[in-house]
Amino acid sequence: MPIKNRFAELLPEITAWRQDLHAHPELMFDCHRTAGLVAAKLRDFGCDEVVEGIGRTGVVGVIKGRSTGSGRVVGLRADMDALPIHEATGLDYASKEAGKMHACGHDGHTAMLLGAAKYLAETRHFDGTVVVIFQPAEEGGGGGDVMCREGLMTRFGIQEVYGMHNWPGVQEGSFAIRPGPFFAATDQFEILLEGRGGHAAKPHQCIDTTLIAAHLVVALQSIVSRNADPTQEVVISVTSFVTESQAFNVIPQHVTLRGTIRTLSDEMRALAQTRLQAIADHTAAMFGGVAQVDYRRGYPVMVNSEAETEHAISAATAITGTCAQAPLVMGGEDFAYMLNERPGAYILVGNGDTADVHHPQYNFNDAIIPAGCSYWVALAEQRLALA
């Protein structure tokens, strides 16, 4: 029976898992219920080994094939955490946790990898070992980094690793991928400007931090327009402009700017950081003020390996007959840490015409579960093909 037909049969069961996860979202590393459910199911499936507590609440399942003579080990990863968003879907299985919501589809990612694990543990139609990885804290916590630093790759002998994310606005159940840099590095900055506060009617006696901040918001865009190679992608967004006074007649002593920088190469990342510091210092000094910059590096650029991208394309094509070229994405993805440890690839699966991720009306499309599960199985069976 073709893989996809088998998962069509399993769809009600896998959908029930997904909707239960959706109703009980957990944030960051606080994925205790989710991790417990995942571990229990992996044991029920008959995985050869189930390990909990890697990356605090991460879960790893080991499934050995009919033969392990090849010595090959492939890792498949799904993320488990939700977002601090108030759900507005009105679904019967909407979040039961106020202010928490699976608004990025990690409930679907977890369910699809569980479905694939169930099938792989039943059939074991491969030569080698599949390691299924369920990761907490993708949404800002760097759970992938924590799992890697705790020895994920070496402990389980993982040689190549793969990830997948649903993608709203792309045809339901279709696939898209690209080799090389794919998702951006995600850095944050906070700039504290100090001047001399005073009465708004006496600006000559003040050093106006709001004026400095206004110039700085504009000047930072010169990094993109005049410092960065125009063929390279750089995004600089000032997202917060906070003064210490709400009065109409007070020039504040301090103003704080916060924002994010997104880049797709280490060169542009270093350039943006250096130029931000220089522009903040000199813009503040031009008006007699002082800038204190706190620059925080976040997730690195996520880079798909060339050969492993071709393997992913082959698996996706086996399911749908085609695999599209994905666009560059300036959002971040902490699967980047795993790809820094081992060669691998990250693929997108279309979620159809739905609200975008991180939106209070978003919902993972259960109709794409057979395609996602089938991709995982095709990838495992192709990479670990029996002789």
- CATH code: domain of residue 235: 3.30.70.360
Residue 363, amino acid: N
Residue at which a domain ends, from 296, 320, 354 = 296
Strands 344-352 and 160-168: parallel
Alpha helices in 220-260 (DSSP H): 222
- β-strand 129-135 against 324-325: which pairing, if any? unpaired
Asked if 72 and 170 sit in the same domain, the reply is yes
Predicted confidence (pLDDT) per residue in 85-140, tens digit: 999 999 999 999 999 999 999 999 999 999 999 999 999 999 999 999 999 999 99
User: Do 214 and 352 share a domain, yes or no?
Assistant: no
Q: Is residue 144 domain-shared with residue 109, that is, in the same domain?
A: yes
Domain boundary among 277, 296, 315: 296
Q: What is the mean pLDDT of residues 57-70?
A: 96
The verdict on 288 and 349 lying in the same domain is no
**Same domain, residue pair 242 and 224:** yes
State yes or no: pLDDT of 273 exceeds 60: yes
Range of the domain at 226: 185-296
Say whether both 288 and 324 belong to one domain.
no
User: How many domains, in total, are found in the chain?
Assistant: 2
pTM, rounded to two decimals: 0.94
Give the C-alpha separation, 132 to 74, whole Å. Answer: 9
Pairing verdict, β 175-177 and 344-352: antiparallel
Secondary structure class of 42 (helix, strand, coil): helix
Q: 32 with 163, same domain?
A: yes
* pLDDT given for residue 385 in this prediction: 95
Instruction: Characterize the bridge pairing of strands 160-168 and 73-79.
Output: parallel
Q: What are residue 339's phi and psi, to 5 degrees?
A: -75, -20
Give the per-residue pLDDT at 279. Answer: 98
Domain stops at, among 274, 296, 318: 296
Q: Which of 42, 74, 82, 84 is CA-nearest to residue 59?
A: 42
Residue 80 maps to which CATH number?
Answer: 3.40.630.10
Same domain, 158 and 219: no
User: Residue 285, Cβ neighbours under 10 Å: how many?
Assistant: 12
Tell me: do 189 and 179 sit in the same domain: no
pLDDT over 60 (residue 303): yes
Dihedral class, residue 375 (left if φ above 0, else alpha if ψ from -120 to 50, else beta): alpha
Distance between CA atoms of residues 103 and 91, nearest Å: 13
